[in-house]
């Protein structure tokens, strides 16, 4: 885990808990894992089966909810079925990086319009 990610998590006091949506939505090339498919190393309820040797991309990943308290609890990825990449202050309608799974588009548009 990078020092920046560790510091961000310490600031928010949050943890992934039961969420493992980052094991499904993004593409992880080094694991030959396409986007929107569960990683072969994910073990439901136990997290990553290769945690100690997981790729650097996985080690240094922290979603927006985990690292930025500007994303309220409604944006906890397992609850929202969405995974924000990047800090709230950097998210704009034009540059949003959002992986969505079953989230009504209106909810995303409303959030982007009011939380920039």
pLDDT at site 53: 93
- Alpha helices (H) along the chain: 3-12, 56-59, 64-67, 77-80, 105-114
Enumerate residues 6+ apart whose C-beta is below 8 A from 58. 22, 28, 48
Q: What is the pLDDT of residue 100?
A: 53
* Confidence check: pLDDT of 80 > 50: yes
Q: CA-CA distance, 42 to 38, in Å (whole number)?
A: 7
Q: Tens of pLDDT along 28-48?
A: 899 998 888 899 999 887 788
Distance CA 33, CA 20 (A): 15
The reported pLDDT for the residue numbered 14 is 92
Nearest to 68 by CA among 9, 1, 18: 9
pLDDT digits (tens, 9 = 90+) for 81-98: 777 765 554 444 433 455
pTM for this prediction:
0.70
Q: Which pLDDT belongs to residue 39?
A: 93
Q: What is the pLDDT of residues 50-74, one digit of tens each?
A: 988 999 888 888 888 888 888 888 8
Given this model, what pLDDT does residue 30 score? Answer: 92
105 Cβ contact list (under 8 Å, min separation 6): none
> What confidence tier does 105 reach under pLDDT thresholds 50, 70, 90?
very low
């Amino acid at each position: 885990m990078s020092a920046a990610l560790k510091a961000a998590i310490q600031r928010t006091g949050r943890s992934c808990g039961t969420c493992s949506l980052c094991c499904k939505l993004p593409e992880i090339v080094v694991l030959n894992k396409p986007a929107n498919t569960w990683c072969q190393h994910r073990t439901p309820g136990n997290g990553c089966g290769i945690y100690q040797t997981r790729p650097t991309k996985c080690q240094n990943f922290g979603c927006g909810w985990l690292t930025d308290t500007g994303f309220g609890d409604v944006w906890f990825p397992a609850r929202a079925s969405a995974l924000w990449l990047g800090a709230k202050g950097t998210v704009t309608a034009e540059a949003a990086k959002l992986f969505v799974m079953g989230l009504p588009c209106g909810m995303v548009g409303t959030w982007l319009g009011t939380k920039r």
